[in-house]
Structure 1
Amino acid sequence: MARMDVRGDDLVVRLTWRERVAARRGDVRVPLAAVCRVTVEPAWWRALRGDPRRGVWIPGTRCVGTRGHLAGADFVVLRPGRPVVCVELRPSAPFRLLAVSAPNRSEAAAMAASLVRAAPEIDASTPCRQPLPVPDERGKGWPELPAADES
């Protein structure tokens, strides 16, 4: 099972050899300075967002790899029925979210707490993850609204 570790000034997602094969990449390494929020999500499926790009997506079994969306890409290593440690990253990082399943709630809470202690600038304004940006709702074919007359 994948693990999140702090090594020096970096957050490293260490993958097992099977997860490396499934994701078609090695361990993920991002600077701790890029971490902006750490949360624990009890429902694994809530950590999935966007469309699958590269990896293995077996519904009900495991989700490993990269998912793309309007804000960029997420890297996930998820197993159903397990809590997920979600690490939101600043736009300068290669991913916007790292989501890794933990064996149980206590290990997920311990992993999240160690990341919060190690990261220099955590946004603690809310315990929830931030929503993804939504594309402009006025797509092509929508007429422009006339400007209001000021009389």
Structure 2
Amino acid sequence: MISPYPGYLREPHYYETDQMGIIHHSNYIRWFEEARIDLLTFLGMPFHTLEAAGISVPVVAVDCQYKNMIHYGDRVRIEVYVQQYTGTRMDFAYRVYDDKTEQLMTTGSSKHCFIATEKNRLTSLKKTAPAFHEVFQQFAEIQPEPQA
């Protein structure tokens, strides 16, 4: 049985800031990836496991909305949700909260597909990797994106 994902805790690094001590906008996409990789590990499918099975998961689109500024010294929790899972594609939603105040700081999303590395073609996990498919499908059911 899959448990709900508790979120990814992140303390911004000084080098990620601009001259005002605010996290530069380009870093949020990297944070989303860190959280997504952490989620895969939480689900028992570290990224290298997918790659070893001949599956790559490229990003086909990404989006980010900045609600409040995050500063060096803040600590954030990045929650990851599945917006949609079809077996050939998976879309994630991200919500970044201040870990102390619970204030919503940033939201975002990323869209992905599953590629059979050997053929370099879109693949259905339901057919080519049913164990992965089952995990993703169960996670999508227990931790869907919350309504706005």
Shorter-chain TM-score: which interval?
under 0.3
TM-score by length of 1: 0.23
TM-score by length of 2: 0.23
Structure with the bigger percentage of helix: 2
Task: Answer with 1 or 2: which has the greater Rg.
Answer: 1
Which of 1 and 2 has higher RCO (CA within 8 Å, sep 6+)?
2
